[in-house]
Amino acid sequence: MSTQTLPHILLVEDDIALAEWIADYLSARDFQVTTTGRGDDAVQLITQLNPDLVLLDGMLPGMDGLDVCKTVRPEFENPIIMLTARDEEIDEVLGLEMGADDYITKPVRARALLARIRLLLRRQEKMTNRLNDDIQPSEPSDRIQFNGLIINLQARSVALDDELINLSSNEFDVLWFLAQNAGQLVSREQLVSHLRGFDYDGFDRSIDLRISRLRKKLKDSPSEPFRIKTIWGKGYLFAKDVW
């Protein structure tokens, strides 16, 4: 008999009927589901349980879903999918800015939700396996340095001119991938496929948002970036000699 632990999902949804439907649907597909209807309770549960993935409603009693995401993201590295009835681009941007990995508008389609969950969990597993396989304390590949910029994979830390830079897990992953390909053009398709585990559909803006945040934190010019350059219509290029 298999003793493999079922993936644990925390569902944060105050619509009781919807929460029960999603929980039953996912439980029937071999997920362990914990539910809560309050944002403030969600923060405690995320800290205590460290679920494999969080389904987080945008409008919640106790604490707004965006605030929940912003509060837990510095320490919580697993995927967060925002659920909301609002279908406006600004809400998507805010969710991604707060650290969400994906964004689904209601009414929720069961198969689409399941596909997003599985893709994000596979991506997380690949990243964890890659980290475990690649980290060898004696190996120089754990550390990339470009003059004043030092990126440490094992510690998942970044320093620029002796100042520690606070990056989210998603931002670090983008920076590490770009730095590994320094001096080479990296397309949006490559970034999405590598970081999210599925093909770029032409509409995913999360990569652009993460690049924008990286530039701000790494003291790059937002209007004329010279450290992480945009090659219009093609992708991004991480410059080697400007740090």
Task: Read off the pLDDT of residues 36-85 as tens digits, 9 standing for 90 and up.
Answer: 999 999 999 999 999 999 999 988 999 989 899 889 987 888 889 988 87
- SS3 of 83, please? strand
Average pLDDT score, the chain: 82
Spatial contact of 108 and 19, defined as CB atoms under 8 Å apart = no
Predicted model pTM: 0.58
Q: Does domain 8-132 have CATH number 3.50.50.60?
A: no
Rounded-to-integer distance, Cα 145 and Cα 154, Å: 14
- pLDDT of the residue at 196: 60
Q: How far is CA 5 from CA 2, 67, 76, 82, 119, in A?
A: 9, 30, 20, 24, 18
- pLDDT of the residue at 135: 43
Could you check whether the bond before residue 51 is cis, i.e. omega within 30 degrees of 0?
no
The residues, ordered by sequence, that sit 6+ positions from 73 with a Cβ below 8 Å of its Cβ are 80, 98, 99, 168, 169
Domain ranges of the chain: 8-132, 136-238
CATH T-level assignment (fold) for domain 136-238: Arc Repressor Mutant, subunit A (1.10.10)
Is residue 205's pLDDT more than 70?
Answer: no
Kindly state the DSSP code that residue 141 receives in the 8-state scheme. Answer: G
The residues, ordered by sequence, that sit 6+ positions from 239 with a Cβ below 8 Å of its Cβ are 182, 183, 226, 227, 228, 229
